[in-house]
Amino acid sequence: MSISRQLEAGRDYCRARGWTIIAEHVDDGVSASANAPEFRKGWQQVLAHGKGTFDVVLVWKVDRLARRVLDFLHANEDLKTRGAGLAAVEDPIDMTTAQGEAFATMLAVFGQMEAEATRARVKAARAALIQVGRVPGGAAPFGYFNAPNSDGAGKVLTKDPATIGFVVEAASRVLNGHSLHSVAAYLDEVAPRTGRKNSAAFWTTTVTKRMLQNPVLAGMTLHNPGNESKQRGTEVLRGSDGMPIVREDTAVLSIEEFRTLQQGLESTGPRKAPSESYLAGLVWCGECGRKMYRNAKTVNGKKVRVFQCQGKNGCGQQVTNLEVIVEKRFLAEFGDQRFERHVFAPSDYDLTEINNQIADTMNRMQDDEADVMELAERLKSLKEVRRQVPEVATITTVSEGTSGEQWAKDPRTAFLFRFEGVRLVKGGRGRNFDQERLSFIESYVPTAPEDPEDFTTFIADWIAEPRP
């Protein structure tokens, strides 16, 4: 029944009993299941009336006041301290007698049972929809939309071609060290939040962070059964093995990239600007064996970037425009050659991610409201998955075009595929760079063991091998 009709029925009830109405207070659109009376504006206004100024509070039904027995008893106690009682239009209650209070309490019990049964039905229906990949309701996150389900009824989450690129770019900027403030400013410029109801009018840092924290970016589905608070949970839909179920059609990041992104979002320290040089940390002095670092200097009145052998023990040699010199040399010698990577694949699962899931599960078990039994079962499943996953199952070769094509996308990756770095020695002065000064440092690649069980030791030795 509508609020206006409830109010009219309440007025009729008062007129029939000769009661004088001193005030009317309404809680419109507020759930009695999720909000105790003392936290609702209408009930707070009732209690604001002074003691002795009213005798009865009339409600439509007991379960409209409270859906939990304890909440109902607290509300009734608040009225007693003010010398007032409770009545209901649709429920024949009399709170002035012990029998009346007992009957009203029974009504509250049945109201709570009905609310819990309804909650269970809604929860089960929502879980069933999520399990089959359908959208259970609500607006789609930015970058996506709810599209008609081609395989049946309902809708499914789908990338929005018009906006998903902005999500990818925003995530990429955070991963590359940009501040949330600058990313929010970027989104405000390319994707203003016009027409979005009940939401911020601009891309604030809070809104931007929330968008980038959504697991859908890694193809996972938010799933928080039993979440009692209004806070958005972080749990995701999982398979019987305890691992997150990933939808490749909605993912824009790998799970590893998503984890790195979350670490960047949670970082409270100052942000470092992304490095402008693909050679950062890869340049060595051939004179004194020290690493050379990039900085800005003024040459002939102009500001230029130079790599220099610095420090009190450095020899001081330097070179300008080294990135351009190395690029020309590299592309001339290797640009047309195939770019192939040797990938050591740990079966169907990523062992690192399994360990991450185990750590996450153990952290969740420490939460005050954690379902420890359910999490313990998940932990058991995850450890069984880890036990069955070999350290290394296959070694594959992935071809990604030519080195020149890879250089255009990521020069550092293309360079490190072949070399450890560059070495520079001093040369004669002049306008043209003496190519004899520059040499590429060959990558150290030991022979991999034939037995995959020895691979862990092989990798450890490789990492520990001293570099130039």
> What is the rounded average pLDDT for all residues in the chain?
77
Structure confidence at residue 230 (pLDDT): 46
pLDDT at residue 111 tops 50: yes
Mind listing the pLDDT tens digit for each residue in 123-135?
A: 555 555 455 566 6
Reported as type and span, the H/E element at residue 144 is: strand 144-148
Confidence band for 445, pLDDT divided at 50, 70 and 90? low
DSSP 305: E
Q: Higher-confidence residue: 115 or 16?
A: 16
pLDDT at residue 118 is higher than 70: no
pLDDT in tens, 242-273: 788 788 888 888 888 898 898 888 875 555 55
Name the pLDDT band for 8 (thresholds 50, 70, 90).
very high
For the chain, give the number of residues: 468
101 vs 192, higher pLDDT:
192
pLDDT at 223: 67
Q: Quick one: which H or E segment has residue 187?
A: helix 180-190
Of 393 and 415, the structure prediction assigns the larger pLDDT to 415
Q: What is the mean pLDDT of residues 80-109?
A: 71
From 13-27, 100-114, 132-146, 325-339, the region with the lowest mean pLDDT: 100-114
* Helix segments in 93-139, DSSP class H: 98-131
- Quick check: 212 pLDDT over 90? yes
Q: What is the mean pLDDT of residues 321-342?
A: 87
Tell me what pLDDT residue 229 has: 45
Asked whether residue 89 carries a pLDDT value surpassing 90, the answer given is no
Look at residue 317 in the predicted model and tell me its pLDDT: 85
In the structure encoding, which two tokens stand for residue 416, read together? 């490190």
Strand-pairing partners, residue 344, are 395
pLDDT computed for residue 323 by the predictor: 92
Residue 349 scores a pLDDT above 70: no
Residue whose tokens read 């195939």: 338
**pLDDT for res 424:** 93
DSSP 276-299: S-TTTT-EEETTT-PBPEEEEEEE
* pLDDT class of 226 with cuts at 50, 70, 90: very low
Q: Indicate whether 373 pLDDT > 50.
A: yes
Assess whether pLDDT exceeds 70 at residue 237. Answer: yes
**pLDDT of 123:** 55
Place of tokens 């093995």: 241
Domains of the chain with bracketed CATH: 3-128 (3.40.50.1390), 144-273 (3.90.1750), 283-342+391-464 (no CATH)
Segment of 78-92, 170-184, 356-370 carrying the highest mean pLDDT:
170-184
Higher pLDDT, 39 or 268: 39
Q: Is it the case that residue 235 has pLDDT exceeding 60?
A: yes
> What percent of the chain stands above pLDDT 70?
71
Residues 320 and 302 sit within 8 Å (Cβ to Cβ): no
Please compute the mean of the pLDDT values over residues 84-90 and round it to a whole number: 84
Minimum mean pLDDT range among 11-15, 38-42, 80-84, 449-453:
449-453
Residue 439 has a pLDDT of 94
pLDDT at residue number 18: 92
Q: What is the pLDDT of residues 319-330, one digit of tens each?
A: 888 999 999 999
- Specify the range with the lowest mean pLDDT, choosing from 11-25, 52-66, 438-452: 438-452
Predicted local distance difference test score (pLDDT) of residue 228: 47
| Residue 313 or 74, more confident | 74
- Strand, helix or coil at 57? strand
Mean per-residue pLDDT for 10-26?
91
CA 84, CA 101: separation in Å to the nearest integer?
13
Q: Do the beta carbons of residue 420 and residue 444 sit within 8 Å? A: yes
Chain segment 378-413, per-residue pLDDT in tens = 888 888 888 877 655 455 555 668 888 889 888 988
pLDDT digits (tens, 9 = 90+) for 267-289: 755 555 555 688 988 899 998 88
pLDDT at 393: 47
Q: Are 235 and 224 in contact (CB under 8 A)?
A: yes
Q: What pLDDT, on a 0 to 100 scale, did the predictor assign at position 24? A: 93
DSSP H or E run through 372: helix 372-388
